[in-house]
Chain A
Amino acid sequence: MAALPLRVTGATRRFRDRGHQLTVFESLDLEVQDREIFVLLGPSGCGKSTLLRVIAGLDVLDEGTVTLEAGDHGRDVGIVFQQPLLLPWLTVTENVSLGLDYRANQGARQDGAVEAILAEFGLSELAHAYPDELSGGQAQRVSLARTVVTRPRVILLDEPFGALDPLTRRTLQQWLLGIQQSMGLTVVMVTHDVDEAVLLGDRVALMSPSPGRISRTWQFSREARDPAHLAATRDEVLRAYGEVAPSLAPSTAAMPAI
């Protein structure tokens, strides 16, 4: 079997806070396959962001290992946050090339790479715009472009559409699917939106809280993505989600089906 882009084994993370100890997740395992969208679904506070930060190297594990395969350009993993975090004094083009400016990513530098990604992401016309001139959806696309242009082997998305209005969110979800397929990206995405998980995921892993563990995983095949099948699976995922986060189920269930 080919090397996996990302494997997490026996991951445990605890926070100590004034004598009180909180185990965020414990003995957590997951594997991400090449060119898939792996969705990590779970209720608020179950440790999804912490896990992503650990994978991104922004936090450390107490136990366990994260194994990442290096990409062709030396960079293994890149992360996109819920907030676009664009630097307000830079234009769209400059924001996107921010990471390429750093020595650590010089392997991904290529003439025209930034222009190409702007075109691919439908941002060419905004190349010289400043962040305060962008809509939320545009800003989040710029943020994604900034990470993708450094060619990481695995792209981590932490609720990237969480702060957007429903319509923009839906548009960007479809757009992300297209981009992921055309560019062959390997994506790990965190969300607590069941619809988003089912719509985007090749695999959906449901994370249960305190301490966080993967309680169930669903696999989807692209061919089987007909609306009826998705609706049926959505109900199944929603039911399981309701079991791990009972208090959250009603409001989630009230959301319209895809």
Chain B
Amino acid sequence: MTSGRAAGATITRGRVSGTLRSILVSIAYPALGFAVLLAVWWAWILFFVEAGSFQSSFAPDEGFRALVRLIENGTLNRHITASLKRIVVGLGIAAAIGIPFGLALGGIRPFARAAGLVTSFIRMVSPLSWTPLAIIWFGVGDPPVYFLIAIGAVWPIALSTSAGVASLDRQWLMLGRSLRASRIEMLRTIIWPGVRGDVLTGLRLGLTTAWIILVPAEMLGVDSGMGYFILDSRDRFAYADLVAAIIVIGALGFVLDRLAQWFLTPRRRSRARGAAGEPRPAEATPVPTAEYRI
């Protein structure tokens, strides 16, 4: 009796300490990484930058002080909002074009043959190469930025969707036909749910691409956004603000990627095939499937 309880206690304690350790590890190592980054940053300022020179405002403490000030007076707020809006619109355009394009690329063989080479050609052109054309076509302001984001993010979305269609089990299509599904019904009940996981993966990759394109794209013809803010800080010789902007860009990108991972990673129930190695949320709540039913 007593020994049994003791054994139980030992096991419990072991498990708790295991969890504790894994929490420690998952916090401690990233923290260590950050500490090293800060140390290198400081060391650079201390040993290679003359005190009082303009470069000394690149120091981390200056950067973080500027960050607090810019958040408090609302300056950053405006730029962050502008950037996020462009990401949403640009990614939306990319999805609206990329998903149907990917479905066609994966499902219609003649289309894939015809579009394949052209696709790989355009895809390899760095999105920013389009900048002059974008400005000629769309003028200044938000539209050329939307265009640049969309033309960069459309490929991961289209290719991931197309790969999903291509790897659909052909027998499912035969099943659909045997149940006399129309083409639309087949698309709605079999093809779309079957590729949904790949589409979500594509959207995640697209978001990362969009974020990377956003900052340089905002350096042209707009007067808001993180990219604009970087150039503006440079022009004002406000190098601490520039450091703050870089911190914000990195942090926001990280948060967006995590959010996308959370919301766009196919949950267990919605995945047709397991995308191995994809991080999954701890509790995989079933995605509502009702929309695919009667």
Contact = CB atoms under 8 A, between A and B. Distances in A.
Determine if chain A interacts with chain B: yes
B289 interface: yes
A231 interface: no
Interface string A82-121: 0101011111001001111111110000000000000000
Given A56-B178, A102-B182, A105-B179, A89 B171 contact: no
Given A91-B289, A94-B289, A99 B272 contact: no
Contact of A103 (B185, B194, B269, B293): B185
A91 B177 CA distance: 20
Given A85-B172, A94-B293, A101-B293, A78 B181 contact: no
A99 B294 CA distance: 10
B193 interface: yes
B79 interface: no
A12 interface: no
B271 A89 contact: yes
A150 B179 contact: yes
B292 to A, nearest CB: 7
Contacts of A97: 293-294
Contact of A87 (B178, B182, B193, B294): B193
Contacts of B294: 97, 100-101
Among A57, A89, A99, max chain B CB count under 10 A is at A89
Nearest to A150: B179
Contacts of A220: none
What does DSSP make chain B's interface, helix, strand, loop or mixed? helix
A103 B177 contact: no
Contacts of B174: 58, 81
B171 A83 contact: yes
Interface in B241-294: 269-272, 289, 292-294
A101 B185 contact: yes
A183 B123 CA distance: 58
A87 B180 CA distance: 16
Interface string B197-226: 000000000000000000000000000000
Interface in A50-64: 56-58
A85 B182 contact: no
A87 B172 contact: yes
A58 B270 contact: no
Given A100-B294, A101-B185, A105-B180, A81 B289 contact: no
Contact of B269 (A75, A105, A130, A150): A130
A105 B176 CA distance: 12
A89 B196 CA distance: 10
Nearest to A79: B178
Nearest to A75: B180
Given A94-B289, A94-B293, A101-B293, A87 B179 contact: no
Interface of B: 169, 171-172, 174-175, 177-182, 185, 189-190, 193-194, 196, 269-272, 289, 292-294
4 tightest A-B contacts by CB? A104-B180, A99-B179, A85-B175, A79-B178
Given A85-B175, A90-B193, A104-B180, 6 more contacts: A75-B180, A88-B272, A90-B289, A97-B293, A101-B189, A130-B269
17 contacts: A56-B178, A57-B177, A57-B178, A58-B177, A58-B178, A75-B180, A78-B179, A81-B174, A85-B171, A89-B196, A89-B270, A89-B271, A98-B179, A98-B189, A99-B180, A103-B182, A104-B179
